[in-house]
């Protein structure tokens, strides 16, 4: 009696379960943030300086020509007392990106950026080390004006653009 195929099948099922749990857990975290951001978007903002919390659009890689859907949740970075954190370049905001690439393979990451209002638009810049498997240090800079979000990104192996608009409430 050879039980190897049965054991091999159990091993594959176990690994698949762990991988799916990891992937779906990450997605549900973003999805929860996304739903909250959409709810905040439906509430009138007190000033024009507030960045809309939910953005939707697309990304485009210049070298490969690949592109796909992109969503982003933006939130102010605060200290333990809930006060906004600022640096020399401006207020600090976390930009949590969720992109699909390939055959709908999800990827998500957060970049903390310095944000300032200048010349009638909001500008932002930041970088984050996503680790060697994700391309190392990603740099992002761009601006928001008239409900349009335009940015460029660069990393060791890629560079391209993000174009988004304020996500409509669902």
Confidence at 119, pLDDT banded by 50, 70, 90: confident
CB neighbour list of residue 98: distance below 8 Å, 6 or more residues apart: 27, 30, 34, 70, 71, 72, 73, 106, 107, 108
Which pLDDT value is given to residue 61? 96
pLDDT cut 70: percent of the chain above it: 79
| Number of other residues whose CB lies within 10 A of the CB of residue 35 | 13
Strand, helix or coil at 18?
A: helix
Confidence at 44, pLDDT banded by 50, 70, 90: low
pLDDT tens-digit readout, 58-105? 999 999 999 999 999 999 998 898 888 888 878 999 999 999 988 889
Q: Does domain 33-166 have CATH number 3.30.56?
A: no
Which pLDDT value is given to residue 106? 92
Which pLDDT value is given to residue 29? 83
Q: Is the pLDDT of residue 153 over 90?
A: yes
Mean pLDDT of the chain: 81
Q: Is 151 exposed, middle or buried (0-12, 13-18, 19+ CB in 10 A)?
A: buried
- Residue ranges of domains in the chain: 33-166
Which pLDDT value is given to residue 99? 95
Greater confidence (118 vs 165) lies with 165
Distance (Å, rounded) from C-alpha 111 to C-alpha 26?
A: 16
- Determine the average pLDDT of the residues in 151-156: 96
- The secondary element (H helix, E strand) that includes residue 123 is strand 121-129
Which pLDDT value is given to residue 15? 31
Q: What is the DSSP string of 63-98?
A: TT--EEEEEEEEEE-B-TTSPBPEETTEEEEEEEEE
Residue 71 and residue 167 in contact, taking contact as beta carbons nearer than 8 Å: yes
- pTM for this structure? 0.78
DSSP secondary structure code for residue 43 in this structure: S
- Determine the average pLDDT of the residues in 103-129: 92
Which pLDDT value is given to residue 161? 98
What b/e sequence results for 153-163 when a residue is b if at least 16 CB atoms lie within 10 Å of its CB, and e otherwise?
bbbeeeebbbb
């Amino acid at each position: 009696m050879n039980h190897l195929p049965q054991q091999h099948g159990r091993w594959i099922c176990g690994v698949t379960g762990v991988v799916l749990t990891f992937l779906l857990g990450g997605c549900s975290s973003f999805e929860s943030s996304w739903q909250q951001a959409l709810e905040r978007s439906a509430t009138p903002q007190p000033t024009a300086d507030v960045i809309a919390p939910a953005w939707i659009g697309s990304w485009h890689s210049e070298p490969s020509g690949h592109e796909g859907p992109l969503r982003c949740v933006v939130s102010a970075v605060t200290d333990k007392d809930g006060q906004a954190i600022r640096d020399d370049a401006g207020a600090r905001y976390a930009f949590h990106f969720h992109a699909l690439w390939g055959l709908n393979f999800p990827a998500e990451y957060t970049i903390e950026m310095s944000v300032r209002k200048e010349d009638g638009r909001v500008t932002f810049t930041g970088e984050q080390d996503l680790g060697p498997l994700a391309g190392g240090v990603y740099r992002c800079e761009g601006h928001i004006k008239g409900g349009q979000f335009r940015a460029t990104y660069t990393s060791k192996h890629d560079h391209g653009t993000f174009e988004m608009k304020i996500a409509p409430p669902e």
